[in-house]
Chains A and B, each alone.
Chain A
Amino acid sequence: MVLDGLNYVKDHLDGTLSYRWSCRMGICGSCGMMVNGEPKLTCATFLADYAPGPVRVEPLRNFPVIRDLIVDLGDFMGKLVRVKPWIIRQSEKPLSDGEYLQTPDEMDEYKQFAMCINCMLCYAACPIYGLDPKFIGPAAIALAQRYNLDNRDEGAAERMNILSEHDGIWGCTFVGECTKVCPKHVDPAGAIQRYKLQSALDWVKSFVMPRAAV
């Protein structure tokens, strides 16, 4: 793995080399970097695929660099909170009433968007985010959609306000790079398209049926 190469350098050649890593099994999302120009999880990218080399490893594109291969995630952490990634309900059912029912089909509606590990590869791949850092970005939109499509959630309207701002979904020109680089097969581009459609429908409805629109 590319990460093993970095660890070898750190342990034996240059102790100052700085990068983040932890689980080494593609689930914690720490070790995203540019590998030969593409955003990759370095713990899940084989050095052998780049033989005979050399392999060029750089910090994730589109982020301010703190040092070496470490980028500043502060912007995303703020955006994550803005899309309210938690269950929003008018009323809470007491625990003694048991679980909210959710059939496997209902879960399939949102499940893929729940697989996001916040690794930031999609932001590094996104040409829009590269030009306009205010764009809320693929992972945050996918996570908003993860809750909107969950049958236990009633917060879609609240989230729509944030997402239909200029910096929200309308920033995306549907390049689709985010979906291509996602190591967990989340489809942020699909989430954004669905959102745009929903938002446009709501907008039309607000003229045609003023009282029906939310």
Chain B
Amino acid sequence: MTPAFDVVLVGGGGAGLRAAIAIAETAPRLRVAVVSKVYPMRSHTVSAEGGAAGVIAADDSLDEHCYDTISGGDWLGDQDAIEAFVREAPQELLRLEHWGCPWSREPDGRIAVRPFGGMKKQRTWFAADKTGFHMLHTLFQTSLKHLSVFRYDEWFVTKLLVDDGIVQGVVALELATGRIEAITARAVILCTGGCGKVFPFTTNAAIKTGDGMALAYRAGAPLKDMEFVQYHPTGLPFTGILITEAARAEGGYLINKDGYRYLQDYALGTPQPKPVLRSMELGPRDRLSQAFVKEFEKGRTIPTPYGHVVHLDLRHLGAQVINTKIPFVRELCLKYQNIDPVTDLIPVRPVIHYMMGGVSTDIDGATPLPGLYAAGEVACVSINGANRLGSNSLPELLVFGARAGKAAADYAMRARDPDAAVLTQLKDERRRVEGELLRPHGHERIADLRDAMQSAMEESAGIYRTDASLRRGVATLRELQARAMDVHVEDDSRTFNTERVAVLELQCMLDVAECIVNAALAREESRGAHQRTDFPERDDVRFLAHSLTARQPDGSCGVSYLPVTITRWPPAERVYGEAPAYAGTSELRSHHAAGRAVPSGERV
């Protein structure tokens, strides 16, 4: 049977749109569909603020970006992937410039770069502090000129069609009408983003429910490094709205209740009036979030009705810098916290921000399941290792969105047509989604189950974890899975039934949450964002390895391990503060990044 499309993309955020454009440009004859549960310009890429890293400055080098990323990820990232990522990031950012992205500029009209956490050089491209918004709208608007890209806006994918181990399309629910259809394809790329909503306090939008991770997991594709969940150190209390790292890059201080820049007590350097790269407030996010917990334990945080906070002090920057470099920070503080950062301290606390783990892929976005690809936050290639550096995720979705798009297009051109028998799965899925979910027969409230899951995740798999906390988490989630079978749906309409979507999302989140706690329980060491108080040291002998969580025949979650690829940077200690960060590994080579010659490394 001829499939409806050559490639189906699930998700229309940055990664999905970049992949769609890559296919449209390199293989314009292929028919591409973007299936998204929201209109593409509503995707969560829109909320990214600070910037996108890509080597462009004359004093920078590709090797230094590699080293910062590898050490920032506590040596868990695959170095071959990181090298490809760092090499291609400047080209991708430049391509976006050619498509109209309003990158902030130097007075002479060249691209400007700013410092960012964990980065030893200034290499973060930015569009004021609405970088993700501008990138997403540029990608979306650019995608509109490609007629080979067909969109299914507001269609929720409920299942991957898998025949004989080969992925051949999706089943999706049209929200407006409630109809459920198969969308067959030779290849599917998951670009659904992260899963922050499995936790109660997150910067993530309401739509970030781990759908793509759950789809892959249920279809038999393993998830990689799911125990690594990033807390961003500066979220607004109560709302969890992100205050971008750019606020610290521009010179903001983090202070405790005594007005003391407490990061100096946690091996992050000594305070200087101006920002110092890879030091203090520009340390990596995992270390900064962990320092907050230590300050709390010392009684040096500030209690508020919405939990303890520390303060982010931007007052010394002045209105001019704040208005030009980080205007959205001011807008958000005024609107959602009723304070003005020009004159007031900003209360902040760590907040769930990003998923390092995801659907396990190779360097071209391919999963172990033939026909299934993934890119962006939903995927784990892995370049982020145990802790992502700020401003690496936006170039990641471009680089690996493009790579996955091209790889899926290549595959689609030689893959065989799907067997019509695959459509029998549509009937089963219709029965599940219509029959089971439209009957108001259950007793459990969706909101109750969601709240219970989120509390269980925060208590068991927060910034610091233990064997006991994680075992409780595993047990609670098993129980919630059972309770979710008895969920109550009041809404029996087929027209835009958001309650039915909420149940589908809850089911996805529960699967993803189980993977997180099981992977965290199995990793008996502390590395990056995964901190076990019962195993406080990094253990390279046992755990210099990626975890793979895969669904077992009995429905439980099995954990196995995959070696980490080390190319030129053997595991070493992570050093922040004044110590020289990078001593180089290889001879000097020159590269052409974003139209400018930059060295690839420093001579040793």
Known: A84-B145, A99-B111. A29 touches B42 (CB 8 A): yes
Interface residues in A81-123 (C-beta closer than 8 Å to B): 81, 84-87, 92-93, 95-104, 106-107, 110-111, 114-115, 117-118
Query: Across chains A and B, which 4 residue pairs bring their CB atoms closest together, nearest first?
Result: A98-B595, A101-B109, A11-B447, A16-B491
A68 cross-chain contacts in B, Cβ below 8 A? 496
Contact A15 B105 (CB under 8 A): no
A99 touching B100 in the complex, CB below 8 Å, given contacts A27-B46, A44-B335: no
B562 contacts the other chain (Cβ, under 8 Å)?
no
B497: interface (CB < 8 Å) = yes
CB distance from A4 to the nearest CB of B (A): 10
Q: A147 near B: Cβ within 8 Å? A: yes
- A96-B592, A101-B108, A103-B109 are known contacts. Are A67 and B493 too (CB-CB below 8 A)? yes
Closest to B147 in A: A81
- A104:B105 contact, CB within 8 angstroms: yes
A80 contacts B110, C-beta separation under 8 Å: no
Q: Is there an interface contact between B496 and A100, defined as CB atoms closer than 8 Å? A: no
Cβ of B171 to closest chain A Cβ, rounded Å: 22
> With A18-B497, A87-B98, A92-B98 given, is the CB distance from A27 to B133 under 8 Å?
yes
Q: Does B420 lie at the interface of the complex (its beta carbon under 8 Å from any beta carbon of A)? A: no
> CB distance B94 to A95 under 8 Å?
yes
Q: Which residues of A contact B41 (CB under 8 A)?
A: 28-29, 117-118
Alpha-carbon distance A119/B491, docked complex (angstroms): 27
Residues of B within 8 A of A84 (CB): 145
Taking the complex as formed, is A170 at the interface, i.e. its CB lies under 8 A from any CB of chain B?
Answer: no
A26-52 at interface with B (beta carbon < 8 Å): 26-30, 44
B241 interface neighbour in A25, A95, A143, A153, Cβ under 8 Å: A25
A15-B490, A95-B91 known; A25-B47 Cβ under 8 A: yes
Is residue A70 within 8 Å, beta carbon to beta carbon, of the partner chain? Answer: yes
User: Could you list which residues of chain B lie within 8 angstroms of chain A, going by C-beta atoms?
Assistant: 38-39, 41-44, 46-47, 91, 94-95, 97-100, 102-105, 107-111, 130, 133-134, 137, 141-142, 144-145, 153, 176, 205-207, 239, 241-242, 331-332, 335-336, 445-447, 488-491, 493, 495-499, 592, 594-596
Q: List 16 A-B contacts (CB under 8 A).
A: A15-B489, A18-B496, A18-B498, A20-B42, A25-B239, A28-B42, A29-B41, A29-B42, A29-B46, A66-B496, A80-B141, A99-B94, A101-B109, A104-B105, A114-B134, A152-B100
CB of B176 within 8 A of CB of A66, answer yes
Taking CB atoms, residues of chain B closer than 8 Å to A110 are 102
Residues of chain A within 8 A of B145, CB atoms compared: 84, 86
A21 at interface, CB cutoff 8 A? yes
- Name A's B-contacting residues (CB within 8 A): 10-12, 14-16, 18-30, 44, 66-68, 70, 72-73, 77, 80-81, 84-87, 92-93, 95-104, 106-107, 110-111, 114-115, 117-118, 143, 147, 150, 152-153
The CA-CA distance from A101 to B109 in the complex, in Å, is 5
Nearest Cβ in chain B — how far from A107, in angstroms?
6
Chain B nearest CB from A94 CB (Å) reads 9
The answer on a CB contact under 8 Å between A107 and B105 is yes
Name which of A14, A15, A67, A103 has the most chain B CB atoms within 10 A of its CB: A15
One of A22, A25, A96, A102 near B336 (C-beta < 8 A): A25
Complex: A28 Cα to B102 Cα, angstroms = 18
The complex places the Cα of A107 from the Cα of B396 at a distance, in Å, of 26
Known contacts A16-B493, A92-B98, A104-B105; A27 and B47 CB within 8 A of each other: yes
| Cβ–Cβ contact B206 & A21, under 8 A | yes
Tell me which of B39, B44, B111 contacts A73 (CB under 8 A): B39
Chain B residues whose CB sits within 8 angstroms of the CB of A72 once the complex forms: 176
A16 to B100, CA, bound (A): 41
B595 to A97, Cβ gap below 8 A?
A: yes
A86 and B499 form a contact (CB under 8 A): no
Once bound together, how far apart are the Cα atoms of A97 and B242, in whole Å? 36
Asked whether, in the complex, the Cβ of B594 is within 8 Å of the Cβ of A98, the reply is yes
Tell me, rounded to whole Å, the shortest Cβ–Cβ distance linking B112 to chain A: 9
Residues of B within 8 A of A87 (CB): 98-100, 142
Q: Which residue of A lies closest to B498 (CB)?
A: A18
Q: Are A100 and B495 in contact (CB under 8 A)?
A: no
- From residue A182, how far is it (CB to closest CB) to chain B in Å? 14
Check if B496 sits within 8 Å of A70, measured CB to CB.
yes
Q: Judging by beta carbons under 8 Å apart, are B111 and A23 in contact?
A: no
Asked whether A99 lies within 8 Å of B153 as measured between CB atoms, the reply is no
CB pair A14–B498 under 8 Å, yes or no, is no
Using known A-B contacts A23-B44, A77-B153, determine if residue A67 contacts B495 with beta carbons closer than 8 Å.
yes
B110 contacts which of A66, A101, A118 (Cβ < 8 Å)? A101
Residue contact B109 to A23, C-beta cutoff 8 Å: no
What residue in chain A is nearest B143 (Cβ atoms)?
A86
Please measure, in the bound complex, the distance between the C-alpha atom of A111 and the C-alpha atom of B102, giving whole angstroms: 8
* CB <8 Å contact, A22 and B42: yes
A153-B101 Cα distance, complex, nearest whole Å = 12
Which of these, A15, A77, A85, A96, contacts B446 with CB under 8 Å?
Answer: A15
- Apart from the given pairs A25-B47, A87-B100, A99-B595, 10 other A-B contacts in the complex at a CB distance below 8 Å: A23-B44, A23-B46, A26-B331, A26-B332, A66-B495, A68-B496, A86-B142, A95-B91, A99-B111, A117-B133
User: In whole angstroms, what is the CA distance A96 to B95 when docked?
Assistant: 10
